[in-house]
Amino acid sequence: MTLGKRAVAEVFGTFWLVFGGCGSAVLAANFGGEGNPLGIGLVGVSLAFGLTVMTMAYAIGHISGCHLNPAVTLGLVAGGRHPAKEAAPYIAAQVVGGLIGAGVLFVIATGNGSEIGGFATNGFATVEGAAGGSPGGYSMTAALVSEIVLTFMFLFIIMGATDKRAPAGFAPIAIGLGLTLIHLIGIPVTNLSVNPARSTGPAVFAGGAALTQLWLFWIAPIVGGVLAGILYRGMFEGPSEE
């Protein structure tokens, strides 16, 4: 499969992650208002993000590896699972897919005349305005630590589930459920990113603090992903497994 075709697969996959995951938060989390049983809430949004990754892992995993995330791509490079020379095209494709997903969601979300609100953006601290900031008012330090640790664990799950010694065929389930759990932990802190492409798409359309705080949601996930790739490769893969 050519690099171009694999990059296109990453565009489709990241589109689905942002449109499906962020779409569930924007359109369905509080549907109907306070106390309405149709709203899916935090648990539903967490599950939606996990389902986007799991379904795409089965759909394009055999084509591009289904990274959908610059932190995953760089973590896999650090872990010896992906060639470094292909990192930039993959990351560019992921950002494009995230922007398209956020753009389509923006058109739908504004289709009833309402404001977009937070638009599923990521942030830290308490911020004035509709978009940006931490849902729970958590500090920049708390956001930084949570995004590093949760991305580390996400990449660790990916490395282990896709190890050739792991049971075949089950990796998408483990990875999807892992992302669901990570969202259950992290949504109150930062609205949960662990993915720079996922953060960039909504931030571009929401603007404000979501854009000025975007730097953290590039740096922290990449640090966590790269550390996990290095650690897994160093501790659990010897020369005979590489």
Write the pLDDT tens digit of every residue in 134-172: 999 999 999 999 999 999 999 999 999 999 999 989 999
- 181 by Cβ neighbours in 10 Å (0-12 / 13-18 / 19+) ranks as middle
Task: Give the count of beta carbons closer than 10 Å to the beta carbon of residue 45.
Answer: 25
Q: What is the mean pLDDT of residues 88-109?
A: 98
Determine the pLDDT at residue 241: 47
CA distance 232 to 157: 10
**Whether residue 70 has pLDDT greater than 50:** yes
**C-alpha distances out from residue 223 to 50, 151, 197, Å:** 22, 8, 15
CA distance 234 to 242: 11
Provide the mean pLDDT of the chain: 94
**Whether residue 242 has pLDDT greater than 70:** no
Determine the pLDDT at residue 117: 84
List of domains in the chain:
3-236 (1.20.1080.10)
